[in-house]
Structure 1
Amino acid sequence: MHQSGGENVLVSGLVSAMTESLRVLGVGKQQYQQIAVQPSPNPPLAAGDVQGVIERIQQDYQQAYFVTGVIDDSIYDQGCTFVDPTVQFSGLDLWKRNLQLLVPFLIKPRIELMSISSVGPNSQGAEQIQAEWTLDTVISLPWRPRVSILGSTIYTLNSDANKVVRHVESWSVSAWQALLQIVTPGPRQ
């Protein structure tokens, strides 16, 4: 798996520039406004209820949160740090906004949770959960590129509020390979 953390400054710069361009153009603004005002229907979990967090994350995958932005806010710290091989930033609200920039370009996106489990505490004693997943979608560009990624996400919880404070993805492809998928023509239909 390719680790996160902006290993490639050029790729990170390109992704940031594309994201900001879409934001300036107002792409996904209406979708973001709709999900931003939806409060979580779920009550907060008790401290130490790791199994409860796992169940809520499973529900998020059932709602395809990676490609819809529909996420259970009650299990995320508002300042959660999100990291993937192309970008890193903090804030649940910013994650939702960034995702809504992409949603209009996804054709039949599919995210499938393959496994999820507690992996115990990290070196600082924070509980961690690991999910393995696949993402497959076609991008709404004239050449219809297909993006297909096998990924893993480590969710790190804070101990006092039992909320996700880090959401770190690793992918089966490098950041550069992921960008190449976007510029490679997809199969003709």
Structure 2
Amino acid sequence: MSMLTLAAGFQVPAPSHVHSASLAAQTKQDSSDTVSDYAGTGGIAKGIVSGLTNAFNAISPAKEEEVVVKAGKLSPRQLFTGIKEDFVDKRYLWTGLIDDNLYSEDCLFTDPTLSFRGLSTWKKNVGSLRPLVNALVPEFGVDLLSCELNEKEKCVRARWRMWGYIKLPWQPAVDVIGRTRFTYDPAEGNRVVDYFETWELPAGEALMQLVTPGKRRQQ
């Protein structure tokens, strides 16, 4: 569950019959697959996240950040190490902080509810949403469950868990396991050209966590 999807979900009002029913319907629609991806996610979940992300960007535009891409070619091993550091040290799934040098400027970013192109678009989106996450998520973590470099397929595959407690009146908690495939291109200096994220639960069920009253979960 990327920071973009999560932060957009925070903007859904307090639990109500309408919102819960809509997301429950989406969960049922998506539940035929164990793993959710963008192609398999229905329009309700995509519409909620895309619409709220665009609205928040319009209301609270981020200060434009310069994308710094270093010259020179990375080795696949350097890319692999950098991706692991983004997970473990930067906890980017929550913070949105990634190493620019690992990504092509034209990289395609996709999770089960959003798909867009461009490193600068990533930075603009997370820049506007980061204050919301900082304010509402006092405790969070990212566990890197596995990470493998496949030079034959020119990709890094990671499996992870993100969890956190949301400072909202109904005390929701987020706990999602997912996988990300980072495909790199030697023509782009072995930088990531396709970021593809899936979750091990339906997208509607993941979003339901944000509107479901709950208590702290065991780690």
Interval containing the TM-score (normalised by the shorter chain): 0.7 to 0.9
Give 1 or 2: higher helix fraction: 2
TM-score where L is the length of structure 2 = 0.72
Shift of 1:24: 2.3
Letter in 2 for 1:59: E
Identical columns (%): 31
Cα distance per residue 1:112-138 (max 9 Å; x no partner) = 21221113444xxxx011011110012
Cα distance per residue 1:96-126 (max 9 Å; x no partner) = 232341523333221121221113444xxxx
Unpaired runs of 5+ in structure 2?
Answer: 1-33
Shift of 1:187: 0.9
Q: Give the counterpart of 1:134 among 149, 161, 172.
A: 161
- Contact in 1 for aligned 2:67/2:120 (Cα 8 Å): no
| Matched ranges for 1:92-131 at <5 A | 92-100=119-127, 101=129, 103-104=133-134, 105-122=136-153, 127-131=154-158
Task: Classify 1:132/1:162 alpha carbon distance in 2 versus 1 (closer, same or farther; 3 Å).
Answer: same
Partner residue in 1 for 2:201: 173
Partner residue in 2 for 1:5: 38
- Contact in 2 for aligned 1:45/1:75 (Cα 8 Å): no
- Contact in 1 for aligned 2:173/2:216 (Cα 8 Å): no
TM-score where L is the length of structure 1 = 0.83
| Structure 1 residue matching 2:138: 3-state secondary structure | strand
In the aligned structure 1, how far is the partner of 2:52 from the partner of 2:142?
23
Task: Classify 1:37/1:117 alpha carbon distance in 2 versus 1 (closer, same or farther; 3 Å).
Answer: same
Shift of 1:3: 3.6
Letter in 2 for 1:96: K
User: How many residues are treated as equivalent by the alignment?
Assistant: 177
| Structure 1 residue matching 2:194: 3-state secondary structure | strand
Flag the structure with more relative contact order, 1 or 2, with Cα contacts below 8 A and sequence separation at least 6. 2
| Structure 2 residue matching 1:118: 3-state secondary structure | strand
Task: Classify 1:95/1:128 alpha carbon distance in 2 versus 1 (closer, same or farther; 3 Å).
Answer: same
- Contact in 1 for aligned 2:76/2:151 (Cα 8 Å): no
In the aligned structure 2, how far is the partner of 1:63 from the partner of 1:146?
21
- What is the alpha-carbon root mean square deviation over aligned residues? 2.3
Give 1 or 2: higher strand fraction: 1
Q: Give the counterpart of 2:114 among 69, 87, 110.
A: 87
Cα distance per residue 1:7-43 (max 9 Å; x no partner) = 21111011111112222221xx5xx538x24746xx5
In the aligned structure 2, how far is the partner of 1:130 from the partner of 1:45?
24
Letter in 2 for 1:144: Q
